[in-house]
Amino acid sequence: MNNLSIGGLLRRPEAGAFLGLAAVLAFFVVFGSSKFLEPAGAASWLNVAANLGIIAIPVGLLMIAGELDISVGAMIPAGSMTVAILTGHYDLPTWVGILAAVGVGLTIGLINGILVVRTAVPSLIVTLGTLFAVQGLVLGLSVLITGTTSVAITADPISKFLFGQFLGNTFQVIIVWWVLLAAAYIFVIHFSPYGNWIFALGGDKVSARNAGIPTQRLTISLFVVSSVSASFVGMCQAILFNSAQVSAGMTYIFNSIIAVVVGGVLLTGGFGSVVGIFLGTITFAVVNQGIYFTAFDRNWSSLIIGVMLLLAVLMNNTFRQIALTYSPKKK
Amino acid sequence: MSRPILKLTNVNKSFGPIDVLHDICLEVHAGKVLCLLGDNGAGKSTLIKTLAGVHKPTSGTIEMDGQPVEFTGPRDAASRGIATVHQFGGTFPLMTIGRSFFVGVEPTIGWGPFKIYDRKRANAVAVKAVRDFGITRIDDGDRLVGGLSGGERQSLAIARAVHFGAKVLILDEPTAALGVKQATHVLRIVNEAKKRGLAVVFITHQVMHAMAVGDQFAVLIRGAVAADFAKGERTREEITDLMAGGETMADLEAQIDAAAV
Q: If DSSP states are collapsed to H, E and C, what string results for chain B?
A: CCCCCEEEEEEEEEECCEEEEEEEEEEECCCCEEEEEECCCCCHHHHHHHHCCCCCCCEEEEEECCEEECCCCHHHHHHCCEEEECCCCCCCCCCEHHHHHCCCCCCEECCHHHCEECHHHHHHHHHHHHHHCCCCCCCCCCCEHHHCCHHHHHHHHHHHHHHCCCCEEEEECCCCCCCHHHHHHHHHHHHHHHHCCCEEEEEECCHHHHHHHCCEEEEEECCEEEEEEECCCCCHHHHHHHHCCCCCHHHHHHHHHHHHC
Domains and CATH numbers, chain B: 6-260 (3.40.50.300)
Domain edges within chain A: 6-324
**8 Å CB contact of A270 and B142:** no
Burial zone of A267 (CB within 10 Å; 0-12 exposed, 13-18 middle, 19+ buried):
middle
Residue B141 with chain A: CB contacts under 8 Å: none
The predicted structure's pLDDT at residue A233: 95
Average pLDDT, integer, range B194-216: 87
Contacts B119 to A, Cβ<8 Å: 1
Terminal-to-terminal C-alpha distance of chain A: 29
Least confident of A27-31, B63-67, B90-94, B153-157: B90-94
DSSP A151: E
Highest mean pLDDT out of A51-60, B90-99, B246-255: A51-60
Q: Rounded to the nearest 5 degrees, what angle is found at the Cα of B163, between the Cα atoms of B30 and B127?
A: 135
Q: What is the pLDDT of residue A129?
A: 95
* CB-CB neighbours of A121 under 10 Å: 11
Nearest to A260 by CA among A242, A273, A247: A273
**What radius of gyration do chain A's Cα atoms show?**
20
Cβ pair B75:A213 closer than 8 A: no
Residue positions counted in chain A: 331
CA nearest to A13 within chain B = B94
B169 forms bridges with which residues in the sheet? B83, B200
Q: Does A327 touch chain B (CB under 8 A)?
A: yes
Please report residues of A whose CB lies closer than 8 A to that of B146: 324, 327-328, 330
> Across residues B91-115, what is the average pLDDT?
82
Taking the CB of residue A119, how many other CB atoms lie within 10 A of it?
10
Phi, psi angle pair for A277, to nearest 5°: -65, -40
What is the per-residue pLDDT across A290-329, written as a single tens digit (0 to 9) for each? 888 888 887 888 888 888 888 888 888 887 777 776 443 3
Cβ separation of A191 and B117 shorter than 8 Å? yes
| pLDDT band, residue B185 (cuts 50/70/90) | confident
DSSP character string of A62-119: HHHTT----THHHHHHHHHHHHIIIIIIS---HHHHHHHHHHHHHHHHHHHHHHHHHH
B117–A330: do the CB atoms touch at under 8 Å? no
The enclosing H or E element of A171 equals strand A171-172
Cross-chain Cβ contact B104/A199 below 8 Å: no
* pLDDT value at B127 more than 80: yes
The confidence score (pLDDT) of residue A3 equals 42
Burial-class residue A287 by CB neighbours within 10 Å (0-12, 13-18, 19+): buried
pLDDT of A329: 36
C-alpha span between A56 and A31 (Å, rounded): 28
Residue A204 above 90 pLDDT? no
For residue A199, the chain B residues in CB contact (below 8 A) are 92, 94-95, 99
Distance of residue A277 Cα from the nearest chain B Cα, in angstroms: 17
pLDDT of residue B248: 64
**Rounded mean pLDDT of B13-17?**
86
pLDDT digits (tens, 9 = 90+) for A147-201: 888 888 888 889 889 998 888 888 999 999 999 999 999 999 988 888 889 999 9
**Contacting residues of B for A217, CB less than 8 Å apart:** none
Identity of the residue in B93, B100, B142 whose CB atom sits nearest the CB atom of A2: B142
Per-residue pLDDT for B1 more than 60?
Answer: no
Does the distance separating the beta carbons of B104 and A213 come in below 8 Å?
Answer: yes
What pLDDT score does A130 carry?
A: 96
Question: Chain A residues with CB inside 8 Å of B93's CB?
Answer: 203-204, 270, 324, 327-328, 330-331
pLDDT at A22 over 50: yes
pLDDT for position A4? 47
**For helices A251-262 and A15-31, what crossing angle results, to 10°?**
110
Q: Report pLDDT digits (tens) over A93-151.
A: 999 999 999 999 999 999 999 999 999 899 999 999 999 999 999 999 999 999 888 88
Question: What is the mean predicted confidence (pLDDT) over B231-237?
Answer: 81
DSSP A204: -
CB contact under 8 A, A211 and B103: yes
pLDDT tens digit sequence for B212-221: 888 988 888 8
Please tell me which of the candidates A2, A191, A270 has its beta carbon nearest to residue B94. Answer: A270
Q: What is the pLDDT of residues A51-74, one digit of tens each?
A: 999 999 999 999 999 999 999 999
**The residue count for chain B:** 261
Residue B18 CA, distance from chain mean position: 26
Q: Which residues of A131-160 are buried (b: 16+ CB within 10 A; e: fewer)?
A: beebbebbbeebeeebeeeebebebeeebb
Tens digit of pLDDT for each residue in A239-271?
A: 999 989 888 788 899 999 999 999 989 888 888
CA–CA gap between residue B49 and residue B56 (Å, rounded): 9
A210–B146 CB contact, under 8 Å? no
pLDDT at residue A133, rounded to an integer: 95
**CB within 8 A of B175, min separation 6: which ones?**
B182, B183, B186, B187, B204, B206, B209
Average pLDDT score, chain B: 83
Residue A128 one-letter amino acid: L
- Report how many Cβ contacts below 8 Å link chain A to chain B: 91
Which of A187, A200, A327 comes nearest B92 by C-beta? A200
Average pLDDT, chain A: 87
* CATH class of the domain defined by A6-324: mainly alpha
Torsion, Cα A267 A268 A272 A278, to 10 degrees, reads 30
Determine the number of helices (DSSP H) and then strands (DSSP E) in chain A. 14, 4
By CB atoms closer than 10 A (0-12, 13-18, 19+), residue A110 is middle
Of all residues in chain B, the percent with pLDDT exceeding 70 is 95
Chain B: closest CA distance from residue A212 (Å): 6
Distance (Å, whole) CA A267 – CA A50: 23
Is A212 at the interface with chain B, CB within 8 A? yes
Task: Give me the mean pLDDT over the B134-142 stretch.
Answer: 78
Inter-chain residue contact A328 with B108, CB threshold 8 Å:
no
Q: Is A210 on the interface with B (CB under 8 A)?
A: yes
In this model, does residue A86 exceed pLDDT 60? yes
Min Cα separation B122/chain A (Å): 11
